[in-house]
Structure 1
């Protein structure tokens, strides 16, 4: 009897997959992805809202590592911002959670500025920071990206994981870079806001300075017997270095006696523009007003003023041009001395001729001992004097050519021949200057003019009254 062939077991038939179970799993996966996307979207929206509404950069930067760590589900995140000059912005170094990165935050806060600045360019500084953070977190894996503002590196954003190496999707990397970019925008926005605040502070100071200077310049021309006066200063900036003044040599006199007393008529210009020139102009005004009370002749007054101002002007590396004159209504005699200022123009009505008033002298503040020349003349009815600063003759026109002295002389001659009073002559000269420079164009330098005119038919005043 033959033996039975050995028994072979038949494998059980494979059970078909349950379609209901597969559908549930897929739905759960999709729901999980949807929840993650919604969470990430909410986190990014929160950061964007903070960027739109933030008023405190520090609060915003505190959120950056917190949202970054949650966004990519990392163990920790670290933000290391930099100043514009490359120094660590220590008060804004933040990590979340603090435990895993507390040591590296402490080390970065203690890092001397020179250690980072000595690295050279921005890329080298970033590499230096990466190496330092990696050494402090040697057991962790890092992913780092740059925080940029206007094409300059303003920091590094690190994501820390205990897994080695870090494996994230491209979406995670894009999310981290998006946070870094928003951080760069926040830093740049804060910089622009601070610049704006600084400009506003400077504008307020300039406005105050302009108001003070406007109060120092005569707000109206004094009444001086036998002459008409008109004056105007147009600064290139809010505060300027041009100076003119009318100073009574007998300030204690009142009424007619004050009008008939000797008056100093001064035109000056501090080299330069803006606040420094304005401050020096104010200083010179005080010194000169004190000197006028001495009663000395013009050349002596400029000599003494030069010695008084020598030290202050030497420290500022600036100089002053000044034309000093005094007028005596009782004799119609004008005495004058010049410290290298533009010589005033004199229109002689009787001769229908234009002259220049000048005498030898150097700049105020150039050297300690200077001798100034002086001269005098008697004014006649119809005579006109124009004091001016070089901001008038140096004003550029639309073609780039300067207004220059010959053009000013022609304009002055024409205005005097028209028979206008002092104010009319001044208005005509500024109107011609404005037309030459161009409408709504700012002058490059302060421009000032003073017109002194002896009306026709004037007689010498009497001391009576």
Structure 2
């Protein structure tokens, strides 16, 4: 493929003193060259202005072949852009030509080219050569010049300029002008794709923010008042939307006021395997199922059994499982019944013995198999006891050195906090402070981390008062 030569200008022979006619010719030649140079600069400037000003990429791409043909003084120009994956961008093919035969047929063939519908077409040299040959076949006697449109090392399209009068003879200036048009086009296409990507990210961010708001509303925004215990809870998601779940559910929601505070409450801690939006959606689904199950009044082991059967199909399709520790607490007797679906066993600080034990019961993950049995445990909480529910995002959190926070460090931190006789909120704050110091203040957690602290306040021992006999003396 060659190029049309610029208009040839021959300097007059200087065989002696210049005549007035020769001087006039030189002046006209200089003015012509200066005018042509100014015209070319104006054309390139107009394309640069359009690139900066047009918010509609289609309008800019329509302008490209017009400017290319006028700048290079050819009969026509053809722009064949590629999409981000390398396929021919059929909707953005633009052709400008003065009375070119079969113009519409060429556009139709380019749009229906089978190979052009495949990803990676634009980066395949063999396919680009076949594209060039196709264009050449429709203008067989024309001079044709083609150059690639490249941005950030990726092929963004192909620009053709042609002249039906015959072969083109290009000067270096012509080549540079053609390449400048191609480069400006590549930048425009790249900028538009970056803009579209940024807008997609903004939409996703908005959706995530909405999801995070909904999830935050589903998690309790404050701990309920339950007679005889002090509660504190916090969830710190690794992403905007997480898979951790904790809840406080009255088993008899119709009760109000003091009767509700004295009624039985379900205390739940769970974790959907995975992170982000999918885990958050499954957590939301399970929350609805569990809250419905709580109304049945069944013991914890039966609650988990029924929940496992209800969630089986949805979890199987998502290829995810759920760990869940379910317990119910009766304030009148201080008895806590519990069942565990392979969740981290809560830690129980026994104030009288000054030691920590685990609350655990046998049970499989929710969603692992349809028929699963769950063990039932029971414990009576005493004055000063502290119960810590948590997710594995706490114990699996990596520190600066690469070590995990692990259960041993959590037990040590809980023991120190409990020995100080703090409130449930103070204990929770102390545990998160210890976790933050271990992970690093400026580092993001890799997984959602949630903790719930339940404390039975210490009994208030009133001082004994000596009885005075106030009967009158005889």
TM norm. shorter chain > 0.5 = yes
1:77 aligns with 2:86: no
Structure 2 SS opposite 1:231: strand
Does the C-alpha gap of structure 1 residues 26 and 246 become closer, same or farther in structure 2, counting only changes over 3 Å? same
TM-score (norm 1): 0.93
Structure 2 SS opposite 1:259: helix
Indicate the RMSD between aligned Cα atoms, in angstroms.
1.6
Map 1:207-222 → 2, pairs under 5 A = 207-222=209-224
Does the C-alpha gap of structure 1 residues 164 and 311 become closer, same or farther in structure 2, counting only changes over 3 Å? same
Give distance in 2, aligned partners of 1:110 and 1:158.
19
Does the C-alpha gap of structure 1 residues 115 and 378 become closer, same or farther in structure 2, counting only changes over 3 Å? closer
Once the 2 structures are TM-superposed, how far is the Cα of residue 440 of structure 1 from its aligned partner? 2.2
Structure 1 SS opposite 2:252: coil
Structure 1 SS opposite 2:150: strand
Contact persistence 2:226–2:331 (CA under 8 A)? yes
Higher mean C-alpha displacement, 430-439 vs 361-370? 430-439
1:445 equivalent in structure 2: 447
Once the 2 structures are TM-superposed, how far is the Cα of residue 118 of structure 1 from its aligned partner? 8.8
Cα offsets for 1:155-204 (capped at 9, x unmatched): 11000112332012110111001100110100110010001000000000
Contact persistence 1:95–1:102 (CA under 8 A)? no
Map 1:134-153 → 2, pairs under 5 A = 134-153=136-155
Of 319, 322, 347, the match for 1:320: 322
TM-score (norm 2): 0.91
Give distance in 2, aligned partners of 1:419 and 1:240.
32
1:47 equivalent in structure 2: 47
Cα offsets for 1:290-331 (capped at 9, x unmatched): 000001000000000000000000000000000000000000
Map 1:216-365 → 2, pairs under 5 A = 216-365=218-367
2:25 equivalent in structure 1: 25
Poorly superposed stretches of 4+, deviation over 3 Å = 15-18, 113-121
Unaligned runs of 5+ in 1: 1-14, 460-465
Cα offsets for 1:95-152 (capped at 9, x unmatched): 1136424432232123235676697952122111101101111121210000012211
1:381 equivalent in structure 2: 383
Unaligned runs of 5+ in 2: 1-14, 462-474
2:10 equivalent in structure 1: none
Give distance in 2, aligned partners of 1:377 and 1:67.
83
Does the C-alpha gap of structure 1 residues 160 and 259 become closer, same or farther in structure 2, counting only changes over 3 Å? same
Structure 2 SS opposite 1:163: coil
Does the C-alpha gap of structure 1 residues 115 and 228 become closer, same or farther in structure 2, counting only changes over 3 Å? closer
Cα offsets for 1:385-423 (capped at 9, x unmatched): 000000001111111111111011100111111111000
Map 1:393-404 → 2, pairs under 5 A = 393-404=395-406
Give distance in 2, aligned partners of 1:447 and 1:157.
55
Cα offsets for 1:328-358 (capped at 9, x unmatched): 0000000000000000000000000010100
1:9 equivalent in structure 2: none
Give distance in 2, aligned partners of 1:197 and 1:34.
45
Aligned pairs, number:
445
1:8 equivalent in structure 2: none
Contact persistence 2:122–2:157 (CA under 8 A)? no
Give distance in 1, aligned partners of 2:87 and 2:120.
10
Does the C-alpha gap of structure 1 residues 401 and 425 become closer, same or farther in structure 2, counting only changes over 3 Å? same
Higher mean C-alpha displacement, 119-128 vs 180-189? 119-128
Cα offsets for 1:408-462 (capped at 9, x unmatched): 1100111111111000000111111111111221110000000000000079xxx
1:3 equivalent in structure 2: none
Does the C-alpha gap of structure 1 residues 209 and 119 become closer, same or farther in structure 2, counting only changes over 3 Å? closer
2:469 equivalent in structure 1: none
